Structure 1
Amino acid sequence: MNQAQLQQMAQVVLDQNWNGQFTKPAPSLYPHQWNWDAGFIAIGNAYDNFGRAMAEMRHLFSAQWKNGLVPQIVFGDDPQARYFPGPGFWQAHRSAQAPEHIQTSGITMPPVHGFVLWKMYEVAADKAQAKAFLKEMYPKVLALHRYLYDYRDPEEEGLVYIRHPWEGGTDNSPIWDRTLSRMQIDRDQLPAYERKDLQKPKAAEHRPTQEDYDRYVYLVDLFRQHDYDDQKIYEECPFLIQDPLFNGILSWSNEALIQIGSLIGEDITEPMQWHELTVWSMNEKLWDEDRGIYNAFDLRAGEIIPVHTSSGLIPLCGEVPTQEQAEAMLRTLESPAFGGKDSGILLCPTYSMEAKDINYKKYWRGPVWINLNWLLYHGLMRYDMTEMADRIRKHSLELLSRHGFYEYFDPRRPAEGEIGCGTDQFSWSAALCLDFLQGEMSG
């Protein structure tokens, strides 16, 4: 398939998943609006449908909580939408901070919104319109970051914790295994629930396990029992993790807030202080000199989590590492752990290929995800590592053009069987394809 055909097909996916208010991540599996999905989707739409890109972001932030939190899910009003956990399970209304006019989940996701806004401005044809949009959105994104630093950084280190695997965006990542396994759960005391994600053939092969879901549900139940009070949750929650992906993305968005604030004449002291502290603390606390990667830190256990996934490479996008550290990260990417020198592997597997429990079809335990490839591509470009960046972009486009707009992909180029996994017609795969194609055409 040539580039023009791929571009057209990607646009069709976005058009078909648009419901007039927001873009569904996929036609049936994800029928509502998801937080970081909306950001990636807005980037794809910004090229040829800037109005829709703005509408996407406005709809997401219309559900912002009073304390600044931007929820992981904004629920639509389609009566046919079947998804677990739905608004009745989250019971976000228990919090006085939750919006009253719209239903949401009670957690957040990686804060992509700052760099999404800056990217939208960069590609906008009408700069005056885009600048007006930045002025509108800047205080909302600033409030989100202020929430994260005020409520999710108890030691004032500049490192934000997540309190649920869904907040990290990488639901069943091996990073979380040890922390989740320590949780003592009485399944007889769990609220009754029915998963909606196992209806497709082979779904169970690709999706998180039932044991994973029991722990996800346990945490949500804990949050709602505490009426989503951040301090009470912090005191009791067994899952408090400083994630390098989340904090690396936060760093990039802090930097974008500095750029936006400078452009529109705002005081940028606050985001500058956040940015400096986050970069410093990530390098002091999370950097693994021996492995050339960033680790996560378990605040509850007080220990580093020495599990190596591509999340540990994402701080490149926020320009967190020094040039020397970035070169060590490139060597890690080129190593057998991530297949960078292996011509048979499509970059970039989400879990170290040296791990005995890698599963190339299991959600965040080995497959390639287009959004992480996109983040990694932009991170490498920031350090002028163009050869590896180009390989990642080309591998991403190869997957999309040959196999379709799937949620994630088997990186091994198997001779037989499926490469595309999860759901198809996936919106961020289509949206980021459009951005990758711009790089291809200009490169």
Structure 2
Amino acid sequence: MRKPTEESLLAAAKGILHKNWTGTFTKPAPSLYPHQWNWDAGFIAIGYAHFDLDKAEAELRHLFRAQWKNGMLPQIVFGQEAGARYFPGPDFWQTDQAAAAPEGVVTSGITMPPVHGFALWRMYEVSADPGRTKAFLREMYPKVLAFHRYLYRHRDPNDEALVYVRHPWEPGTDNSPTWDRPLRRMKVQKDQLPAYQRQDLQNPKAAAHRPTDEDYDRFVFLVDLFRRNRYEEELLDELCPFKVQDPLFNAILAWSNECLIHIGSLLGENVEEPMHWHEHTIHSLNEKLWNEAEGCYDAYDLVAGERLPCRTNSGLMPLIGEVPTQEQAERILKKLESRAFCGQSPDEVYWCPTYDLRAADIDFEKYWRGPVWINMNWLLYQGLLRYDFDEAAERLRNDTLALLERYGFYEYFDPRRHSKTAEGFGTGQFSWSAALYIDLLSR
């Protein structure tokens, strides 16, 4: 039986999703993010699947309506509301000049983590009408398959079955410390950048927590490079100065490959292609990105030809795709339970900070450089369960629910349990925080 606080928060979570529903998709938040974001849509659909199949299906249909002709699924699908209030908006991306861009839909020109395979499978697992959801899987399966095919065709230049991201917005962890080295290496002359005005700094309280102007100059430099080359894949692969094989992105790809195998088998489809992807991505994650000394997975900078030590919780995420061996998984658990993510005592922080607590530059309020994010906790929870790390999984679930009960449905959270200044940060009424609360409460 649920506690009264859980019942009231469940109602509040559903209310947030309904409030952020536009009629065709769900905004991540009421004002700061007025359009549809790619991986947000996947997490949001999981939440809806527990109580509103119509919206769960509509969420993903709207996203995949914007799929590019080459299979790429864009980071943002722009809606009609407040287009001028979000930067970069359609006028800045200029994706209409891309030959592969969809017709009748306005999008950004980059992608995000391929969460849709496991989102669809989770929808099927919790559906009150499995027959209906199976029909929806049949509709979506070829579209998700085409997205994965794009990733392996255009983002895997060495045929390693490890795909790269070409912008820090693509893995969703915008200002992660992992990107510091490749971003600093980029030579950006401010006077040669196109003019732009950030819209994410309008709230003075939140402005200090966002990526720096120096980061944003590099983000804009990359977008300008992409649009000047009309989003031609071969040119971008040759010219892009930021190409990183990220453990989070590839772990999500591995898990969604596995779920495509489940979906395809359920539908009676030939699943040789996703089986091939799945096997080879797991192999390459372990061969190339596993860090034996640290007990986690690193990133790899394809431009510099060097490993990027990963001190963030992205390095733990291959658990979700059952990538590590049992021995490797136990090393990851040891890392999670160490001072890196627990601090000096077991109750010092809410699990799981995004960044090593021992890092000199950790910032408990700054976006992806220390705070807890609900989607990352949800992912890590799935990974812990896969290896029967039930005690750790339950602690992570309880900490996640406790954060939401204490602060509300914010975007990210100060992990310090006993700090008098700790709070939720970013925007409130955040859709995936609400959606994943609904899913975690059902466990």
| TM-score normalised by L of structure 2 | 0.98
Q: Is the aligned partner of 1:13 residue 2:35? A: no
Q: Which whole-Å CA distance do the structure 2 matches of 1:306 and 1:375 have between them?
A: 21
Question: Counterpart of 2:414?
Answer: 410
One-letter amino acid matched to 1:245: L
Question: Counterpart of 2:170?
Answer: 167
Unaligned runs of 5+ in 1: none
CA RMSD of aligned residues (A): 1.0
Deviation at 1:94, TM superposition (A): 1.3
Q: Is the aligned partner of 1:102 residue 2:105? A: yes
Question: Counterpart of 2:383?
Answer: 379
Q: Is the aligned partner of 1:366 residue 2:370? A: yes
Deviation at 1:3, TM superposition (A): 1.1
Question: Counterpart of 2:230?
Answer: 227
Q: Is the aligned partner of 1:346 residue 2:350? A: yes
Q: Is the aligned partner of 1:420 residue 2:424? A: yes
Q: Is the aligned partner of 1:62 residue 2:65? A: yes
Contact 2:34–2:82 (CA under 8 A) maintained in structure 1: no
Q: Is the aligned partner of 1:249 residue 2:252? A: yes
Q: Which whole-Å CA distance do the structure 1 matches of 2:119 and 2:358 have between them?
A: 34
Contact 1:254–1:271 (CA under 8 A) maintained in structure 2: yes
1:31 to 34, 40, 49: 34
Q: Which whole-Å CA distance do the structure 2 matches of 1:200 and 1:105 have between them?
A: 24
Other structure's SS at 2:317 match: helix
Q: Which whole-Å CA distance do the structure 1 matches of 2:75 and 2:48 have between them?
A: 20
Unaligned runs of 5+ in 2: none
One-letter amino acid matched to 2:349: I
One-letter amino acid matched to 2:288: K
Q: Which whole-Å CA distance do the structure 2 matches of 1:80 and 1:237 have between them?
A: 27
Q: Which whole-Å CA distance do the structure 2 matches of 1:243 and 1:81 have between them?
A: 32
Structure 1 runs of 4+ aligned residues shifted over 4 Å read none
With over 3 angstroms needed to count, the CA separation of the structure-2 counterparts of 1:161 and 1:204, relative to structure 1, is same
Q: Which whole-Å CA distance do the structure 2 matches of 1:23 and 1:128 have between them?
A: 25
Q: Which whole-Å CA distance do the structure 1 matches of 2:281 and 2:422 have between them?
A: 40
Question: Counterpart of 1:322?
Answer: 325
Q: Which whole-Å CA distance do the structure 2 matches of 1:320 and 1:357 have between them?
A: 30
Question: Counterpart of 1:435?
Answer: 439
Deviation at 1:79, TM superposition (A): 4.4
Please list the CA deviations of residues 31-87 of structure 1 after superposition, one character each: whole Å capped at 9, or x if unmatched.
000000000000000010011000000000000000000000000012466100000
Instruction: Tell which deviates more after alignment, 50-59 or 405-414.
Output: 405-414
Please list the CA deviations of residues 212-249 of structure 1 after superposition, one character each: whole Å capped at 9, or x if unmatched.
00000000000001100111011111100000000000
Other structure's SS at 1:162 match: coil
| TM-score normalised by L of structure 1 | 0.98
Q: Which whole-Å CA distance do the structure 1 matches of 2:259 and 2:393 have between them?
A: 21
One-letter amino acid matched to 1:54: E
Q: Which whole-Å CA distance do the structure 2 matches of 1:47 and 1:354 have between them?
A: 39
Contact 1:68–1:144 (CA under 8 A) maintained in structure 2: yes
Instruction: Tell which deviates more after alignment, 336-345 or 286-295.
Output: 336-345
Give the length in aligned residue pairs.
Answer: 439
Contact 2:348–2:418 (CA under 8 A) maintained in structure 1: no
Deviation at 1:415, TM superposition (A): 3.6
Deviation at 1:414, TM superposition (A): 4.3
Question: Counterpart of 2:142?
Answer: 139
Contact 2:47–2:439 (CA under 8 A) maintained in structure 1: yes
Deviation at 1:416, TM superposition (A): 2.1
Q: Please give the residue correspondences for 1:253-268 in structure 2 after superposition, counting only pairs within 5 Å.
A: 253-268=256-271
Deviation at 1:202, TM superposition (A): 1.8
1:120 to 103, 119, 123: 123
Please list the CA deviations of residues 303-361 of structure 1 after superposition, one character each: whole Å capped at 9, or x if unmatched.
10013100001110011101110000000000000117521210000001111100010
Deviation at 1:268, TM superposition (A): 0.2
Question: Counterpart of 1:394?
Answer: 398
Contact 1:407–1:424 (CA under 8 A) maintained in structure 2: yes
Question: Counterpart of 2:25?
Answer: 22
Q: Which whole-Å CA distance do the structure 1 matches of 2:372 and 2:63 have between them?
A: 26
Contact 2:83–2:89 (CA under 8 A) maintained in structure 1: no
Question: Counterpart of 2:189?
Answer: 186
Deviation at 1:405, TM superposition (A): 0.3
Instruction: Tell which deviates more after alignment, 341-350 or 11-20.
Output: 341-350
Q: Which whole-Å CA distance do the structure 1 matches of 2:71 and 2:282 have between them?
A: 22
Other structure's SS at 2:85 match: coil
Deviation at 1:418, TM superposition (A): 4.1
2:153 to 138, 150, 153: 150
Q: Which whole-Å CA distance do the structure 1 matches of 2:417 and 2:212 have between them?
A: 25
Please list the CA deviations of residues 154-193 of structure 1 after superposition, one character each: whole Å capped at 9, or x if unmatched.
0000000000000010000000000000000110010000
Question: Counterpart of 2:311?
Answer: 308
Deviation at 1:258, TM superposition (A): 0.3
Deviation at 1:417, TM superposition (A): 2.2
Q: Which whole-Å CA distance do the structure 2 matches of 1:206 and 1:332 have between them?
A: 27
Other structure's SS at 1:181 match: helix
